């Protein structure tokens, strides 16, 4: 029993959950008010859009690419959600589907022309931002009532955010980690050649994963405006780097194929809590970014130690 | 004996209203949620908040006045920060917002938790919050009204605008043109964008000067008066009346000209100390006062006679500042009633 608990494999999988628990306990200690339904809700509700963005980023990282445009994309979805989706729902839905199609097309373009995804998605980040500014030139707009209703749902025992985050993690976990096609999708990132030799279409896997990223990016934008009640084209620029950090913090790796959906959701939560933790500590703002980075480095250093222990055996 | 008694009664009577007003908010805690600290104006704003806040805490008027600045100027970060402040149990949150609309969700959460929210400078549109806004249009109009007193016959005006496409620039310019339409004799003969920076303004004015007739006055938006003066000097043209914007270099130049040749003008801008005004307004609301939801920031205007005093109080490279007192805040509130 103790041997299993101390095995590097178990430790590596448990590390994200462990760091989240430690952080949560520290916050409860610092600010007991957070230990309530109301407190947990305020503490975690903004983590849900980040969790969605992180899952979107994870889809891209799965196929060994990186998305530097997800933040601006979430901003565009927010802009569409607070304008067209509210005033003319049909146009809004069509625009959102169009966005997902563009994402899928990006996957195809990157695969067919063998382009570096960093360049393509960085370029697209400006396109997304420009489109968001066209849709919503000045901050404002109104979120559709049903999105607001979902995001402010009063669920029993625990806040809605926690149920939603668990659901997303579990669903994506079964889709990518347990299903047969999920294995192919991961394989396409980890070892594309053998997957192609086995007769699977790499184009199809890329398009699928990019379309999924577009879908989760859309959920991120819609859940975000459900919380803020109105949009701003620049609302989510930070999500690009946060989502990458969330994936890595949650146990994913840049090499492609090595991912953990539940870990990614936990990673997004950890990042959000880290910021709150630093606020509760009353750390001066000038030090906060650095301290946030410090927390990241500590967690990743633990993982490096565990990986080394695993390699030694 | 009776005289002593009367004096004592009087003293108690005088002291009572003051202590009564103070006692109600002595255990209240106010937080400042600020989205950006990267320029001299914001630094001065935070410094004023710290100074007046610490004094108010020391005097026992409020229990705490803590300032929180987000590390990056991002809406989502400030929304999270406001939610954290709610959890920390502050009684009032004073906000300089990153976005007028996108923080409304967090502001609503705060109001629902029974917290007083006062926004200033960067205001929020959520109806439950108080707003202390800047009337930039009036600021532009005031410049022309001052000119019409100073130069009753009118003349040619050169307008230096700010950063193109920014709401503040449009508002001030609209005010200037409204003032020109309402007074007689003035005409805007040229307009350049100075981006609120001395070097940009100097280049822009130098570029347009050869094509202009004699200029009576230059209307500005702040941060551009000194550059304009340098351009006129370099071109060898008579220096017109240039409205200043409370920057240290502008006031210094004005002082030099005033001492040398009796040069006359005025200077107007918003004092960074407006954060302290917002703090007192929050304190007044916590005290149970009935305060209108929309208030206007008074301008900090410097004239010929109080130039020296203001220049002495302005840091090198900074902006003229004024810290508000409780009485100043009450005057602003009464003006809005």
Cβ contacts of residue B270 below 8 Å, gap of 6+? B121, B134, B139, B297, B299, B300
Closest-CA distance of chain A to residue B106, Å = 7
Q: What sign does the dihedral A65-A70-A73-A78 (CA atoms) show?
A: positive
ipTM for the predicted complex = 0.83
| DSSP 8-class letter at A140 | B
What end-to-end distance do the CA atoms of chain B give, in Å?
45
Element at B159 (helix H, strand E): strand B155-161
Residue contact A139–B100, C-beta within 8 A: yes
Map residue A260 onto helix, strand or coil. Answer: coil
CB pairs under 8 A between A and B: 96
CATH 3.40.50.2300 for the B136-269 domain, yes or no: yes
CB contacts of B66 in chain A (<8 Å) are 282
Q: Do A139 and B80 touch (CB under 8 A)?
A: no
Domain parsing of chain A, residue ranges? 36-282
B240-289 tens-digit pLDDT:
999 999 999 999 999 999 999 999 999 998 888 999 999 999 999 999 98
Q: What is the pLDDT along chain A (313 residues), one digit of tens a residue?
A: 677 777 777 887 888 999 999 999 999 999 888 888 988 998 998 999 999 999 999 999 999 999 999 999 999 999 999 999 999 999 999 999 999 999 999 999 999 999 999 999 999 999 999 999 999 887 888 999 999 999 988 899 999 999 999 999 999 999 999 999 999 999 998 889 999 999 999 999 999 999 999 999 999 999 999 998 888 888 898 899 999 999 998 888 888 888 999 999 999 999 889 888 888 888 776 677 788 788 888 888 888 888 888 777 6
Which pLDDT score is estimated for A1?
61
Select the residue of A43, A138, A285 nearest B87 (Cβ to Cβ). Answer: A43
Q: Which H or E run includes A124? A: helix A117-135
The confidence score (pLDDT) of residue B11 equals 45
How is domain B25-134+274-299+321-336 classified at the CATH fold level?
Rossmann fold (3.40.50)
CA distance A62 to chain B (A): 27
Between B41 and B94, name the one with better pLDDT: B94
Kindly tell me the burial class for residue A126, based on how many C-beta atoms sit within 10 Å of its own C-beta (0-12, 13-18, 19 or more): exposed
Neighbours of B228 (CB within 10 A): 29
Question: By the CB < 8 Å criterion, does B70 face chain A?
Answer: yes
| Residue ranges of B 150-189 with Cβ closer than 8 A to chain A | 167
With CA atoms as reference, the chain A residue closest to B166 would be A138
Q: How many CA atoms lie within 13 A of B18 on its CB side?
A: 9
Q: Domain boundaries in chain B?
A: 25-134+274-299+321-336, 136-269
Per-residue tokens: A89: 């729902």
Give residue B165's pLDDT: 63
Contacts of the segment B199-206: beta carbons below 8 A, 24+ positions apart: B199/B227, B200/B224, B200/B227, B201/B160, B201/B225, B201/B227, B201/B228, B201/B231, B202/B227, B202/B228, B202/B230, B202/B231, B203/B227, B203/B231, B204/B160, B205/B158, B205/B160, B205/B231, B205/B232, B206/B231, B206/B234, B206/B235
Residues of A with CB under 8 A from a CB of B: 31, 33-34, 38-39, 42-43, 45-46, 49, 138-141, 224, 227-232, 234-239, 272, 275-276, 279-280, 282, 285-286, 288-289, 292
Span B115-124, pLDDT tens digits: 999 999 888 9
Q: Is B76 on the interface with A (CB under 8 A)?
A: yes
Q: Which stretch, B41-50, B69-78, B92-101, B173-182, has highest mean pLDDT?
A: B173-182
Determine, for residues A42 and B109 on separate chains, whether the beta-carbon distance falls below 8 Å.
Answer: yes
| Rounded alpha-carbon distances, angstroms, from residue A108 to A53, A69, A111, A113, B206 | 21, 16, 5, 8, 53
Report chain A residues whose CB lies below 8 A from the CB of B109.
Answer: 42
**Which of A38, A232, A279 has its CB closest to that of B84?**
A279
Angle, helices B136-150 vs B167-182, to 10°: value is 30
In this structure, what token pair is assigned to residue B305? 């006679």
- Give B318's DSSP letter: S
A72 near A132, Cβ under 8 Å? yes
pLDDT in tens, B194-224: 888 888 999 999 999 999 999 999 999 988 9
Contacts of B101 in chain A (CB under 8 A): 139-141, 228-232
Contacts of B68 in chain A (CB under 8 A): 279, 285
Q: What would you report as the CA-atom Rg of chain B, rounded to the nearest whole angstrom?
A: 23
With both helix axes pointing from N to C terminus, report the angle between A285-312 and A261-280 in degrees, rounded to the nearest 10: 140
Q: Reply yes or no on whether the pLDDT at B330 is more than 80.
A: yes
Instruction: Note the Cα B55 to chain centre separation in Å.
Output: 21
B105 touches chain A (CB under 8 A): yes
pLDDT in tens, B139-190: 999 999 999 999 999 899 999 998 776 677 888 999 999 999 999 889 999 9
Contact A42 B83 (CB under 8 A): yes
Mapped onto helix, strand or coil, the DSSP state of residue B157 is: strand
Contacts of B72 in chain A (CB under 8 A): 238, 289
pLDDT in the model for residue A288: 75
Closest residue on chain B to A287 (Cα) = B71
Q: What is the pLDDT of residue B18?
A: 43
Does any CB of chain A come closer than 8 Å to the CB of residue B73? Answer: no
Task: Name the nearest CA neighbour of B330 among B281, B297, B295, B287.
Answer: B281
- CA torsion angle B311 B313 B314 B315 (round to 10): 130
Substitution target in B105, B106, B110 with the highest count of A β-carbons within 10 Å is: B105
Residues of B in contact with A42 (CB under 8 A): 83-84, 86-87, 109
Measure A148 CA to nearest chain B CA, in Å: 10
Contact B83 A230 (CB under 8 A): no
Alpha-carbon span A222 to A77, nearest angstrom: 7
């Amino acid at each position: 029993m103790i041997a299993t608990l101390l095995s590097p494999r178990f430790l590596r999988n448990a590390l994200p959950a462990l760091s989240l628990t430690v952080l949560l306990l520290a916050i409860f200690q610092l600010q007991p008010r957070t230990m309530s339904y109301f407190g947990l809700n305020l503490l975690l509700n903004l983590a849900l859009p980040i969790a969605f963005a992180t899952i979107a980023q994870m889809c891209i990282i799965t196929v060994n690419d990186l998305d530097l445009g997800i933040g601006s994309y979430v901003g565009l979805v927010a802009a569409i959600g607070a304008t067209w989706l509210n005033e003319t729902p049909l146009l809004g839905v069509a625009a959102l589907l169009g966005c997902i199609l563009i994402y899928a097309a990006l996957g195809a373009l990157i695969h067919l022309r063998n382009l570096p995804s960093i360049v393509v998605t960085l370029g697209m980040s400006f396109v997304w931002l420009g489109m968001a500014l066209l849709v919503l030139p000045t901050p404002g707009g109104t979120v559709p009532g049903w999105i607001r209703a979902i995001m402010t749902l009063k669920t029993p025992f625990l806040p809605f955010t926690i149920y939603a985050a668990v659901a997303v993690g579990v669903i994506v976990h079964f889709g990518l980690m347990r299903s047969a096609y999920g294995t192919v999708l991961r394989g396409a990132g980890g070892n594309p050649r053998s997957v192609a030799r086995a007769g699977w279409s790499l184009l199809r896997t890329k398009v699928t994963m990019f379309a999924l990223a577009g879908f989760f990016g859309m959920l991120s934008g819609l859940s975000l405006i459900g919380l803020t009640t109105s949009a701003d084209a620049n609302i989510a620029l930070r999500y690009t780097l946060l989502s990458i950090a969330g994936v890595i913090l949650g146990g994913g790796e840049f090499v492609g194929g090595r991912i953990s959906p539940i870990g990614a959701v936990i990673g997004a939560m950890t990042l959000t809590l880290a910021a709150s933790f630093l606020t509760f500590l009353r750390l001066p703002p000038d030090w906060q970014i650095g301290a946030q980075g410090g927390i990241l480095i500590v967690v990743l250093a633990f993982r490096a130690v565990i990986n080394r222990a695993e390699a030694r055996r | 004996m009776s005289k002593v008694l009367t004096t004592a009664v009087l003293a108690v009577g005088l002291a009572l209203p003051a202590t009564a007003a103070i006692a109600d908010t002595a255990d209240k805690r106010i937080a400042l949620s600020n989205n950006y600290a990267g320029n001299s104006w914001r630094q001065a704003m935070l410094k004023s908040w710290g100074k007046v806040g610490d004094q108010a805490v020391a005097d026992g008027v409020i229990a705490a006045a803590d300032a929180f600045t987000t590390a990056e100027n991002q809406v989502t970060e400030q929304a999270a920060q406001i939610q954290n402040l709610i959890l920390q149990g502050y009684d009032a949150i004073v906000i300089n917002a990153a976005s007028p609309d996108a923080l409304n969700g967090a502001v609503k959460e705060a109001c629902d938790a029974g917290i007083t929210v006062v926004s200033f400078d960067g205001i929020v549109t959520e109806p439950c919050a108080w707003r202390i806004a800047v009337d930039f249009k009036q600021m532009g109009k005031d410049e022309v009204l001052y000119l019409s007193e100073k130069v009753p016959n009118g003349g040619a005006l050169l307008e230096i605008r700010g950063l193109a496409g920014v709401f503040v620039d449009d508002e001030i310019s609209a005010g200037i043109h409204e003032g020109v339409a309402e007074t007689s004799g003035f005409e805007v003969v040229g307009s350049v964008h100075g981006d609120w920076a001395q070097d940009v303004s100097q280049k822009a004015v130098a570029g347009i000067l050869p094509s202009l007739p004699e200029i009576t006055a230059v209307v500005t938006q702040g941060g551009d008066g000194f550059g304009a003066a340098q351009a006129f000097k370099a071109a060898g043209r008579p220096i017109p009346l240039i409205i200043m914007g409370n920057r240290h270099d502008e006031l210094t130049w004005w002082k030099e000209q005033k001492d040398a040749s009796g040069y006359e003008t005025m200077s107007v801008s918003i004092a960074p100390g407006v954060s302290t005004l917002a703090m007192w307004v929050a304190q007044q609301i916590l005290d149970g006062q009935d305060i209108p939801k929309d208030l206007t920031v008074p301008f900090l205007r410097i004239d010929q006679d109080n130039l020296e005093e203001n220049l002495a109080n302005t840091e090198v490279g900074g902006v003229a500042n004024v810290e508000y007192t409780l009485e100043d805040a009450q005057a602003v509130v009464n003006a809005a009633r």
